[in-house]
Structure 1
């Protein structure tokens, strides 16, 4: 249930209504609290500060009506500004439509809308309790003062929001936000360091033995992108049925209802109920998310780079910036252990997982940029610099081989598309440096011990 709850929370957090709705409820609760305090506790505040609290029923109504009207108007302006920012982000042709979700889940955008709608709701609740002299006379002085203070808070928030929107649609902010989200996913999904061990199971005999078994395909019951998978629940189903489950679709893959989602070895005891049990651990949605899908975070940045390299835009600086942030992601990932494909339960194989690999993520990061950066010396040089930085953090021989293959692919692209002797010389010098780094065992500094000694 935990992945499903996490998915529910992510969906609510990404919506444009959840945070404003919570803030409206908070504003209503604050108004109710202050009104109750005014009605039941005699604070003598009017006598002590008559200029601050001395407004009568008509004055209080006028003040709160003006605040409520202006706040709901500004809320509409905020919503319009947000939509205009989204439209500009798309119309600029520098960004991909996949970054719209980042705008929607931005806490500042949600909170600002919540502030203005919340102040409006606060004023409505307080207005309802004000009565003139003929009606028994009640003016909640503290609540009215609270409305005045909230009006000034709203003014400050509006000024800040205008500044925030003007900076949030810049390419650097959008790329940095996508990279930061991806880095957080790397830290969460791959917390352990790799050392000198291999990433994946390499037992060829086991792979051949499993290939000879009779596998029964279990179809998906929904169509969409696989957003999360509860690995523990999948392991529990395999244990309960005494079988081995193989994931045919991994996180981030698109699955069509009725096509194979997983496969299981049939010992003669499988029945139709296992289809529902094996579908239950999967959360299938209409779009991919970054939380368990590092490749999607990389995909967003690559898409921005592709737009920047398109002939209609030709923005080399943005493409270089994308390569820089992809470097940061892969440098963070390089020393991390990626979970093995074979999941055991008391030394018995139960689940053959389908997940990311270091080589796949490197290809996702650089292949399309390389294919579209032909003739662009700045981007090709920056990609070689990126691979040099990643290689300096990579101990595993298989991963270094992947980086070497990517370097040679970039060298081939440069050889084919760069004509200037000077530019070819610059690229040749950088290629030599990268190849030297890949040929040299890197020195990796580990965290210092508690007694103050450091190890290499």
Structure 2
């Protein structure tokens, strides 16, 4: 039962990130609400309202048809405008910042819910329209259904105002950076707390996997999720150790070695094991904190391109990278999963030194000509060097990157004044 629940949750997490998920769900609700109201209207609910609150009822069918038709036309216009705004946001974010931001922006639940509210209201009023005849009098009109349709229109107007506000906020780079940071921080905090709970420093032993049996996937895609508890139960059930050779969030090629085991697995066992892994064609920060480093680095690099030339955004991006690295240095590079005192699973991860190099290599290449940005990167590395780290190897990697940065900055600056200033600045901090 738990295995089925984990698979359903994984499936839901995938489809929830699609832009059409909430609009489709709410449209279904609106469609069904119209038929539910038909049932209540047949029960005479509008007649009871007419007896107690006659001022709420419309006089004739023509007036009702005119009002409902006007509401439908207005909502369709608002929905078209809103969808156009979403497409504009995605296009602008892709061209100005990074195409890698699109999955996160598309999965914004607020915009999805607003668009879904439009669709639900339109479908509700279209099907309500079928139950109104032009010659209907006050006592025979579906009064409550019409009132609900008008209320839904008012709700959509309020949602439209909020939608404009949300869109104006979403396109601001400060909010984009903050959103990426908060999602990745939440993920990193969760991992770090888990490692503290199991005392990871004393549970790093895992047998070597050099001569183990290796198995490949039947399809390619990004390694997005894993039902970890199911895999742990699998290892206990068959008394096997598993090494996952591709880090989470990376692209897995078809027929490439993905899983190693110390015991040979038959076809049924392989199917059972691989059913707990989820692959997709997209990436989300919620599933892989490494993606946050990639996205923020790409924003910084794009900001320093000649076509955009926005060093302020680059400085903001480096600030967020500093905070993320300050969290990452508290996490181990082991990838060992400890359950009930046993270490049966190990997942390949991106080592801190490689992660730092990948970020700094891009920043050095595109930002080393700007002394202000170089100063900011020197400050970031000096700050990280003085923090408490999980391993002394992290400090050595930071010192090495600082040395490379200062060496390349000397040859990149056109002015000796800038070179001397950076040299003096590095000595002071």
| Band the TM-score falls in, shorter-chain normalisation | 0.7 to 0.9
2:245 counterpart residue number: 248
Equivalent of 2:312 in 307, 317, 323: 317
Separation (CA, whole Å) in 2 of partners of 1:59 and 1:433: 78
User: Following TM superposition, by how much is the alpha carbon of 1:216 offset from its aligned partner in structure 2, in angstroms?
Assistant: 1.6
**2:170 corresponds to:** 168
2:260 match: secondary structure: strand
Contact kept? 1:64, 1:144, Cα under 8 Å? yes
The reply to whether residue 20 of structure 1 matches residue 23 of structure 2 is: yes
Q: CA deviation at 1:227?
A: 0.7
CA distance in 2, matches of 1:122, 1:131: 17
What SS class does the counterpart of residue 93 from structure 2 fall into?
A: helix
Q: How many residues align?
A: 423
TM-score (norm 1): 0.82
How does 1:256-405 map onto structure 2 within 5 Å? 256-266=253-263, 270-335=265-330, 337-338=331-332, 340-343=334-337, 349-396=343-390, 397-405=392-400
How far apart, in 1, do the equivalents of 2:52 and 2:216 lie? 75
Deviation at 1:402, TM superposition (A): 2.6
The runs of 5 or more residues in structure 1 that have no matched partner are 435-456
Indicate how the Cα distance of structure 1 residues 198 and 370 shifts in structure 2: closer, same or farther if over 3 A, else same: farther
Distance 1:188 1:9, change over 3 A: farther
Describe how 1:1-400 pairs up with structure 2 within 5 A: 1=3, 4-32=7-35, 36-38=39-41, 39-41=43-45, 45-46=49-50, 50-90=54-94, 93-131=95-133, 138-192=140-194, 210=208, 214-266=211-263, 270-335=265-330, 337-338=331-332, 340-343=334-337, 349-396=343-390, 397-400=392-395
Distance 2:355 2:63 in 1: 64
CA displacement, residues 301-343 of structure 1 (integer Å, 9 cap, x when unaligned):
11112212223332211211211111222233333x4474344
Q: CA deviation at 1:411?
A: 1.7
The change in CA–CA distance for 1:378 and 1:55 in structure 2 (over 3 A counts) is: farther
Q: Quick one: structure 1 residues 367 and 29, their matched pair in 2 at CA, closer, same or farther if it must change by over 3 Å?
A: same
State whether residues 242 and 344 of structure 2, in contact with CA within 8 Å, keep that contact through their aligned partners in structure 1. yes
1:405 shift after superposition: 2.2
Distance 2:130 2:78 in 1: 22
Rounded to whole Å, the distance in 2 between the matches of 1:97 and 1:378 is 26
**Larger mean Cα displacement after TM superposition, 246-255 or 306-315:** 306-315
Alpha-carbon separation, structure 2, partners of 1:314 and 1:200: 48
Cα distance change, pair 106–98 in 1 and its aligned pair in 2 (3 A): same
- How far apart in 1 are the matches of 2:402 and 2:412? 15
2-structure distance, mates of 1:200, 1:256:
34
Tell me if structure 2 keeps the 8 A contact 1:391–1:400.
Answer: yes
RMSD, aligned CA = 3.1
Query: What CA deviation, in whole Å up to 9, does each residue of 1:184-221 have, x standing for no partner?
Result: 222233324769x8869776xx76xx36x632211111
Aligned counterpart, 2:421: 426
- Per the normalisation by structure 2, the TM-score is 0.87
Q: Indicate how the Cα distance of structure 1 residues 422 and 362 shifts in structure 2: closer, same or farther if over 3 A, else same.
A: same
* Whole-angstrom distance in 2 between the partners of 1:345 and 1:334: 23
- Change over 3 Å in CA distance of 1:423–1:357 after alignment to 2: same
The range that moved more, 74-83 or 352-361, is: 352-361
Q: Deviations over 1:201-249 (max 9, x none)?
A: 776xx76xx36x6322111111111111233333333333333322221
Q: Given that residues 131 and 137 in structure 1 are in contact (C-alpha distance below 8 angstroms), is that contact kept between their aligned partners in structure 2? A: no
Alpha-carbon distance in structure 2 between the residues aligned to 1:270 and 1:189: 30
Partner of 1:443: none
SS at match of 1:129: coil
Cα deviation code 1:281-307 (max 9, x no counterpart): 221111222223111121111111221
